[in-house]
Structure 1
Amino acid sequence: MRVVLGPMEGVLDHLMREILTDINDYDLCVTEFVRVVDQLLPEHVFYRLCPELKQGSKTKSGVPVHIQLLGQDPHWMAENAVRAAELGAKGVDINFGCPAKLVNKSKGGAALLQHPDLVHQVVRACRNALPSHVPLSAKIRLGWDNPNDCFEIVDAIQSAGANELTVHARTKTGGYKASEIKWSYINEIRQRFDIPLIANGEIWNYQDGQACIETTGVDSLMVCRGAFNIPNLGNVVKYNQTAMPWQGVIKLLLLYSQYEMKGDKGLYYPNRVKQWFSYLRQAYPQANELFREIRTFNKAAPIVERIKEYQSAEPAA
């Protein structure tokens, strides 16, 4: 089984990738998206989102990192894909799945699912421009509002020459509702097409992973939101490891704060750590109390101080 740590815009930065790949046996990571509009982006944009480029496009624990691009212009997507490869990216991924209204309004992400011909053109342009040894993948949802559209979309991507495809088994309008998950469509895609698949959506524990594999026939899984609910979810899904105890999570929160303070994102730390708490609260009831205390702080220092105080007061696990 392969388990991929998927991208989450505004949450899964390189510091989080470093922490999560250090404690999980992930096979691959994908970055937050690089937004491509109408120009070749400067190198610093790629290095900011993927500083791992400076260490062989791998996390410190050795997990390969692929750069994700989001855009709708075939020419500029191809130009930026080549730049990513020239900077050493282990692979390039194209985002056709982001459901965010702001992104879709500017015809990016899942909005392109309504235009399979354009999806084909974007993938074809990137594949033709990239060196053959650099894998090109894409991430889609089943469609905008009709899951049956997935077959035309997958055909567009496979015929354009993509090497792999991640399928989030909901439509754009299905959002993140658990009731909207349709893993069976991934099984149909697998039976109809040859492109290697990664299954994504509603994988929160070992049982979910096994159920997804059984339903889809696909043994490569991507986890996203769940990786923030339970920090060791990669190993939970892969090896049926017990979920990390709350004391271990507190240590990770403090480790993350140390990374943020030393890095270039100290100003963003309050928002990022609060976002992480919003996920942790789903799996750890203890997170609610601490979150209530820190959520009014808008500077890093008092947040870190409160977490340290909390750690000292907590009984050892």
Structure 2
Amino acid sequence: MANAGGSMESRHRGRRLVIVAAVVVALVVGALILWGIRPVVGAASAPAPAATATPSATATPTPTPTPAPRPTPTGFPANTTAYDVTSLPQVNVFAVIPALPVDGDRFGAFTGEQAVAHGGGAPVFADPTRPPVAYLPSQFPYGGTTVPVIQKQEHWIEVLLTGRQAVPSHGDSAQVTGWLRAQDVELAPIDTIVQVSISARTIDIVHAGVPERIATDFAWGTPSTPTPRGRAFIMTEAVVPEYAYTRGHPIVYLSVQSPTLDGFGGEDVAVTAFHYHDQRSGPISNGCIRVDPSAITRLAQLPLGTPVIIKD
């Protein structure tokens, strides 16, 4: 029995040794695992990089191109010749100067500028490649010295003028033009124009592109003394008491004259004008445009040189 007990005790002792060994092995393995995942002492932990959002593509607006200013046409070559203007005929309402050309584009546009001669006056050329044929004074008692520009070049401007190429009984009395050297004048902007429509019976003052209707009925020339059609400008304004039919209202004289009358009222001129008249409807005048008091008051407020276009 003693031998049997010892065998059993030996077997129990061996079983305990196996269990102890297994526990030791487990502890060693666990220690090794913990050692492998421990943080490194003394090394700065690098923060995990934050997710960086990929910037979305932003459309860059295309800038609106600024239009380049339109260059002034060079045109005729410069002319710096000095001229004695006192030896030339003066352009004024009474002048008849055959060398002055008649307006070749009666309903053409204006450039939006007006000119006044420097000093005693500016030579006027019918053709910029030839000598001058007249001169435009800087002042004249009956106006006509502030003239609208109808064409502009680098060295030259073409303008409307007062006076005539001929009286109707001897030629064409229509609106005349001429060329001035840019060096001889002072230019200024003007953004007002008077538009007359005979057929529509309307008169508009257009300022900066905005029309102001000032008349819806008026009188104009008879078939034998018609109101000249085309472009012109305000030459001067005056109150003339001896013209009783105006009732003391101003007369607004234009640069253009009658196509059929050599003169009028004992004068050697037949100037077209806006003026008041008691009878002011239909084709009944000698060529002038007769309007009511409010219309003539408004027209008389416009500056000299204001462009005017009269259409059928």
Higher helix share: 1
**Which structure dedicates a bigger proportion of its chain to strand?**
2
TM-score by length of 1: 0.23
The two structures have a TM-score, normalised by structure 2, of 0.24
**Which one has the largest radius of gyration?**
2
